Chains A and B, each alone.
Chain A
Amino acid sequence: MSKYLLRRLLILIPALFGISLVLFTILALAPGDPFEELATNPNVPPEVRANLRAQFGLDDPIAVRYVRWVTAMLKGDWGFSFVSRVNVSTLIMQRLPTTLFVLGTAQLLGLLVALPIGIYSAVRPYSIFDQIATTFAFIGFSLPTFFTGLLFILFFSIHLDWLPFIYRADLTSTGWRWAWEMARQAIMPIAVLGLAQGAAMTRFVRSAVLEVVRLDYVNTARSKGLSEKITILKHVVRNALIPVVTLVALQIPGIFTGAVITEQIFRVPGIGSLLISAILSNDTPVIMSITFVFSALVLLFNLVADLVYGWLDPRISYR
């Protein structure tokens, strides 16, 4: 297991290198000076601008600039925000937990929706339940998150007036009251993101279980007298989940699309909404860093998927 983990971690290095190369190429190809805004921005004194130019070495050859940029990123020196004049890393670290909380809970909700529905659908294919579930899954994964978000606000906040539609990080209450307010404000963003994920995953789970459930070893399990519950949960699902993990891992980069949108709609103070506001205020260091953090998160989640893979399929972990 540890050897497997180590190998996976080593693969991350060229991947991170590739991503940094892509991001830097985009930045370098961009016409004009990315710090041009500073010249016209009265809030930024000229020395700061000159310092920045020196820090980023904008007049050096491109290879030198790349190496310098990468080493700075590796050292955790991500520059500072033009707008709020704090270190970019501080800014991101303040907001990253919120994003991870919303994303993680939404993934969990998606799994809790997808696993039972997908499995039950596949065990009784073409039944009424299956047809309804399949239709809803299809609708759910065709519904854009920005529209579901607006519909949720329209229904639950405006029509019923049950839930607040603005997420606040600075809740003043404490204890149970804090937990209650937190839950109330987090439920809509998590539901929007989680249901979209759940709809896509339901389709994966259903088709994977459908493949496995007619294999011979499942008949063997049944005919040796195992209960239906044990047969499905212990024999079918574990094997069916292997391709599901692959498909979910392929979906990971797309999850962040949903995260940016929900954060923007519900004003969740995470790095997604920070990215949008940074773009609107031309805050280049923040934009570059957040894009890099998102890419790194994709790699991290892929690593998690690989570990789950090793756990589900014992043949992998010993290789």
Chain B
Amino acid sequence: MANGTVTEVVLERAPALTRRPPESLAAEAWRRFRKHRLATFGAAALAIMVFAVLAGPLIYRVPINEIDFKAKLKGPSWAHPMGTDDLGQDILARMLYGGRISLAVGVAAMLIALTVGTAVGALSGHAGGVVDHTLMRITDLFLALPPLPLLLLIVYLFRDVLKKALGPEAGVFIMIVVVIGGLRWMPVARLVRAQFLSLREKEFVEAARSLGARPFRQVIRHILPNAVGPVIVAGTLDVAAAILAESTLSFLGLGFPPDIPTWGRILFDAKDNLDFAPHWAIFPGTAIFLTVLSINYLGDGLRDALDPRKVL
């Protein structure tokens, strides 16, 4: 009787609490995410950018490699909204096309980093013992390597062979994506391992184990879904880091060839003409900056939204 009245009183006094339908995890995360205003702006800016590079070349049908020496190094005008480069090629068209590659490199490298990182972290955290120790030492070793010099070394040693084997575009793309992703998996591996170490002792995993779930099923069905929040955040930030890494490579003249105008590559071509064609450098630079800024804000918002301990 006493119990009943307490429940009734609580129900009566908090009608909102009972009427609100149970939220799914994604819905709750979205509700929390929207409270981070800058993250919402970041997501919107990013969505616009992705839409622009996907649909842009279909609407703005200026070829990226039409050479017109009469219009070379012109500033922004109605005919060329972002001006032209030293061959009279339209910069907006090149930016839209190159943006596709820049963003694709970011996403693909992130997927590789996440896959390798999750696999290493899960194996390490679940197996323990010698396997764990060895994998963690390897992770530490990779964390101590300076990424850019190593990236340059690998590009230098492998680019010609891959170009020959897969053609200039696909070869360079695959190499850059694999190398950037292959040098960024370590934080994810550490994160996943830490999650595993705490989760595998939890009661629900023990319950699954005592019901006879095999190790693989325990990992895939029970542990990984609970470890996914921080991994999503790390993955988001990895996209930004990969875009920066690709731009850096291309900016140094060691990434994509000139007929694939990624944003970094446009900057590389523009940097020697700064004094009479500043627009040529400012547009792609700003595009890289805004993309990275949006992704970083997005990651910040996701971190708040996906951390259940944080009260919003």
Residues of B within 8 A of A141 (CB): 296
Whether the Cβ atoms of A287 and B252 lie closer than 8 Å is no
Whether the Cβ atoms of A158 and B275 lie closer than 8 Å is yes
Whether the Cβ atoms of B253 and A280 lie closer than 8 Å is yes
Whether the Cβ atoms of A146 and B267 lie closer than 8 Å is yes
Whether the Cβ atoms of B248 and A257 lie closer than 8 Å is yes
Whether the Cβ atoms of B252 and A150 lie closer than 8 Å is no
Whether the Cβ atoms of A138 and B297 lie closer than 8 Å is yes
Whether the Cβ atoms of A147 and B274 lie closer than 8 Å is no
In the complex, B149 has a CB within 8 A of chain A: yes
In the complex, B166 has a CB within 8 A of chain A: no
Q: What 1/0 mask marks residues of chain A from 234 to 274 whose CB sits below 8 Å from any chain B CB?
A: 00000000000000001001101100110011000000000
Residues of B within 8 A of A151 (CB): 282, 285
In the complex, B289 has a CB within 8 A of chain A: yes
Instruction: For the complex formed, measure the closest distance between the CB of B185 and the CB atoms of chain A, giving whole angstroms.
Output: 14
CB within 8 Å of B: which A295-311 residues: 295, 297-299, 302
Instruction: For the complex formed, measure the closest distance between the CB of A24 and the CB atoms of chain B, giving whole angstroms.
Output: 11
Whether the Cβ atoms of A299 and B144 lie closer than 8 Å is yes
Partner of B147, one of A31, A253, A299: A253
Q: What 1/0 mask marks residues of chain A from 275 to 314 whose CB sits below 8 Å from any chain B CB?
A: 1100110100001101100110111001000000000000
In the complex, B293 has a CB within 8 A of chain A: yes
Q: What 1/0 mask marks residues of chain A from 122 to 139 whose CB sits below 8 Å from any chain B CB?
A: 000000000000000011
Residues of B within 8 A of A299 (CB): 144
In the complex, B170 has a CB within 8 A of chain A: no
Complexed CA–CA distance, A314 and B206 (Å): 41
Closest to B250 in A: A146
Whether the Cβ atoms of A26 and B253 lie closer than 8 Å is no
In the complex, B281 has a CB within 8 A of chain A: yes
Whether the Cβ atoms of B146 and A295 lie closer than 8 Å is yes
In the complex, B216 has a CB within 8 A of chain A: no
Given contacts A30-B158, A260-B148, A139 and B293 within 8 Å (CB-CB) = yes
Given contacts A19-B145, A142-B296, A298-B146, A147 and B285 within 8 Å (CB-CB) = yes
Q: Residues of A within 8 Å of B, CB-based: how many?
A: 48
Residues of A within 8 A of B143 (CB): 250, 253
Whether the Cβ atoms of A291 and B149 lie closer than 8 Å is yes
Whether the Cβ atoms of A15 and B141 lie closer than 8 Å is yes
Given contacts A146-B251, A147-B289, A261-B248, A22 and B153 within 8 Å (CB-CB) = no
Instruction: For the complex formed, measure the closest distance between the CB of A195 and the CB atoms of chain B, giving whole angstroms.
Output: 14
Closest to B275 in A: A158
In the complex, A23 has a CB within 8 A of chain B: yes
In the complex, B211 has a CB within 8 A of chain A: no
Complexed CA–CA distance, A226 and B155 (Å): 58
In the complex, A34 has a CB within 8 A of chain B: yes
Residues of B within 8 A of A97 (CB): none
Whether the Cβ atoms of A253 and B157 lie closer than 8 Å is no
CB within 8 Å of A: which B107-151 residues: 137, 141-150
Complexed CA–CA distance, A297 and B146 (Å): 9
Whether the Cβ atoms of B153 and A150 lie closer than 8 Å is no
Closest to A147 in B: B285
Q: What 1/0 mask marks residues of chain B from 272 to 300 whose CB sits below 8 Å from any chain A CB?
A: 00110010011001101100110011000
Partner of B148, one of A22, A32, A143, A256: A256
Complexed CA–CA distance, A42 and B143 (Å): 41
Given contacts A30-B157, A276-B252, A144 and B247 within 8 Å (CB-CB) = yes
Complexed CA–CA distance, A141 and B293 (Å): 8
Residues of A within 8 A of B155 (CB): 279
Complexed CA–CA distance, A60 and B153 (Å): 23
In the complex, B152 has a CB within 8 A of chain A: yes
Instruction: For the complex formed, measure the closest distance between the CB of B60 and the CB atoms of chain A, giving whole angstroms.
Output: 24
Instruction: For the complex formed, measure the closest distance between the CB of B161 and the CB atoms of chain A, giving whole angstroms.
Output: 5
In the complex, B254 has a CB within 8 A of chain A: yes
In the complex, B156 has a CB within 8 A of chain A: yes
Whether the Cβ atoms of A142 and B147 lie closer than 8 Å is no
Whether the Cβ atoms of A150 and B152 lie closer than 8 Å is no
Partner of A19, one of B141, B267, B288: B141
In the complex, A116 has a CB within 8 A of chain B: no
In the complex, B306 has a CB within 8 A of chain A: no
Whether the Cβ atoms of B281 and A154 lie closer than 8 Å is yes
5 extra interface residue pairs, beta carbon distance < 8 Å, beyond A15-B144, A154-B282 = A26-B153, A143-B292, A144-B285, A279-B155, A287-B152
Which residue numbers of A lie inside 8 Å of B, CB to CB? 15, 18-19, 22-23, 26-27, 30-32, 34, 138-139, 141-144, 146-147, 150-151, 153-154, 158, 250, 253-254, 256-257, 260-261, 264-265, 275-276, 279-280, 282, 287-288, 290-291, 294-295, 297-299, 302
Which residue numbers of B lie inside 8 Å of A, CB to CB? 137, 141-150, 152-158, 160-161, 240, 244, 247-248, 251-254, 264, 267, 271, 274-275, 278, 281-282, 285-286, 288-289, 292-293, 296-297
